[in-house]
Amino acid sequence: MAMKLISLIILFTGVALGGDVKPNILWITSEDNSAHWLGCYGNEDAQTPRLDALAKEGFRFQHGYSNAPVCAVARSTILNGAYAVTQGTEHMRSRHPIPSKYRSYVSYLRENGYYCTNKTKTDYNFRGDDRAVWDDCSPEAHYKSRPEGAPFFAVFNLTETHESSLFPKKNQSDATRLKPEDVTVPPYLPDLPEVRSDIAKYHDRISLMDRKVGELLDELESAGLAEDTIVFYYSDHGGILPRGKRYLKETGVRVPMMVRVPAKFQNLSPFKSGEVVDELVAFVDLAPTVLSLIGLDTPEQMQGRAFLGEKRKDAPKDDMVFLFGDRFDEIYGMRRGLTDGRWKYIRRFTPNKPAAPYSFYQFSMPSWVAWQDAWQEGKLSKEYAQMWEAPQEVEELYDLESDPWEIENLAKDPAQAERLASMRSRLKGTMIEVRDTGLVPEPMWVDLVGEGTIADYVASPGFKIDDVATLAFLSGEKGDAAAETLLSTAAKTGDAISRSWVLQASLFRGKPLMEHPEKGLEDETSLNRIMTAQLLYSTGEKEVAAKAMFDELRKDISPESVLYLTNAIYNLGLIDEVPRKWAKEVMADKKAGEYVKRFAKRVLEE
């Protein structure tokens, strides 16, 4: 008995003096639900008692953001504490190599004695064995399997709210807690029966997820570990309804995020129980924060800010969250954004493309199908039809305080001209600072870097990122004579990357900015040949352009070039001219990518 008393005295003295006692850390994540689905974030239709209680026991962030609105891209940002666009992991379900300097936060935890488990989502979006990161990554992974005395870090990923939960093949029940006619339809969505039905069904999925969160918290309590464990809850990005997931709107990137810190570790948090925290936090901050909770400095290659722990850094007064979206599934489309929680700036770098769809996967959801059908049948007012049409606005600016659903674009408001210019300039500066690999089109990566990495290529002194970023921004300055002069010069003197941005500018304007556009069909890069064909098609040279694209289909080009080519063929309405023989060969090819096979399947179905 005396020895036990001495041990307890030593233990609590260690805690009081900031000794070696380390907190356990439990991460509970859900999928595809933006912040506005929860009761504690103001949804009056929600039934989320366990998460509402967790927010009161701990603290919740009013402005928590996923830097990307889709899972694999967001997850790579979390894992390595660096922006996906810096690592070269911004394209959905890609497996490009990344520099060896990028190490997961998990590796640091394991080196410091933590038993790390993940149940079970990985999808880290770069070459390697995702499961090897963990001590255990499986359906059975659990902190209870840790060695005696070891602190744990455990992730439980709840899938109940994934977008597929609204696919009729997976959810055939029409019985819902809320009647569809009684739900609140947010004003950015058309009020269609399928939209109302999906909202009602998703509230049930949210409530189910809430109960699963409660089960995990009860299990922690029953094991006697609640007072030794810091608990995080967040969703992997926004969603689930149309214009949520895959969009840089708040519905796609603003996530619920809350943390509960037990009394013995209150020295690691500046926030009080029940507090609503206004400072910005984003997924890029999670890895530095976890390391800070166990007393580690933020590694040099990590780009986020530790917002808890011994190494916490206060948020800068002019803090902004950097947002990005590129190829999601099989559809290319580059967007970047910034927000300070009040103002949101979004810029499209491919405004010649419509804003929907960004993936064909979503068309198993009734509300997505209904919205598209209503548009095709001409039944929508302008505000609900514009997302499906091209070209799109290059710039968007929203006042999130007065317009939380981001309906009124203020980019052309003279009163906001100064703010618009400031945020535009800051976005460009941010992209240059973080060495945004998205400035290089993905279909060029393999040819440019060989066995290297696109991150090292863009970070090298030889890559003139300021010049490339300037061309990227000029490509959207329609009607600017000076911009067109600079772009035309780049067409003559620039490299393949520069030529691609001139071609993008030409596609947006609907006219060539080079003297002899047909010469682009002989460009050294497949992407530029395809973009040239698109340009020629749009300017009336349809036969020449179509032949060039189908010739390209027979060439030995990179998988990403093939994917871009299928985008072009689909967008120009040429899918019924694709040789069925090619499609059958793709379907039989084990090395063909999932997304190219999806295109081939559509060819055969057509």
Mean pLDDT, the chain, as a whole number?
95
pLDDT, one tens digit per residue, over 419-446 is 999 999 999 999 999 999 999 999 999 9
Q: Give the end of a domain, one of 253, 283, 313.
A: 313
Cβ–Cβ < 8 Å for 316, 329 = no
Tell me the two tokens of residue 302: 């990590």
308 and 443 part of one domain: no
Q: Give the end of a domain, one of 313, 342, 366.
A: 313
Can you say whether the dihedral through the CA atoms of 56, 59, 63, 68 is positive or negative?
negative
Has residue 364 been placed in a domain? no
pLDDT, one tens digit per residue, over 504-553 is 999 999 999 999 999 999 999 999 999 999 999 999 999 999 999 999 99
329/444 Cα distance (integer angstroms): 18
400/71 Cα distance (integer angstroms): 24
Question: How is 509-561 classified by DSSP, letter by letter?
Answer: HTS--SS-GGGGGG-SSHHHHHHHHHHHHHTT-HHHHHHHHHHHHTS---HHH
Residue 342 CB partners (closer than 8 Å, separation 6+):
399, 400, 401
How many other C-beta atoms lie within 10 A of the C-beta of residue 197?
A: 20
Number of domains in the chain: 2
Has residue 347 been placed in a domain? no
250/120 Cα distance (integer angstroms): 27
203/178 Cα distance (integer angstroms): 8
Has residue 45 been placed in a domain? yes
Label the pairing between strands 136-137 and 229-235: unpaired
Global pTM reads: 0.95
Has residue 70 been placed in a domain? yes
45 and 184 part of one domain: yes
Which pLDDT band holds residue 36 (cuts at 50, 70, 90)? very high
Cβ–Cβ < 8 Å for 166, 38 = no
Has residue 288 been placed in a domain? yes
pLDDT, one tens digit per residue, over 70-117 is 999 999 999 999 999 999 999 999 999 999 999 999 999 999 999 999
Sheet with 343-348, edge to edge strand ranges: 321-325, 335-339, 343-348, 395-399
455 and 306 part of one domain: no
- 8, pLDDT greater than 90: no
194/192 Cα distance (integer angstroms): 5
Domain CATH number, residue 118: 3.40.720.10
Has residue 528 been placed in a domain? yes
Domain containing residue 143: 21-313
Residue type, 136: D
The H or E element spanning position 363 is none
How many other C-beta atoms lie within 10 A of the C-beta of residue 581?
A: 8
Point out which residues pair with 471 in neighbouring strands.
Answer: none
154/290 Cα distance (integer angstroms): 12
Question: Residue 64: its pLDDT value, please?
Answer: 98
Sheet with 229-235, edge to edge strand ranges: 136-137, 115-119, 152-158, 24-30, 229-235, 257-260, 59-61, 276-277
Catalogue the E-assigned strands of 151-302.
152-158, 229-235, 254-255, 257-260, 276-277, 281-282
564/543 Cα distance (integer angstroms): 20
Catalogue the E-assigned strands of 42-176.
59-61, 64-65, 115-119, 136-137, 152-158
Has residue 337 been placed in a domain? no
Q: Give the end of a domain, one of 313, 332, 367.
A: 313
Has residue 83 been placed in a domain? yes
pLDDT, one tens digit per residue, over 464-498 is 999 999 999 999 999 899 999 999 999 999 999 99
Tell me the two tokens of residue 418: 């100064």
Residue 576 CB partners (closer than 8 Å, separation 6+):
606
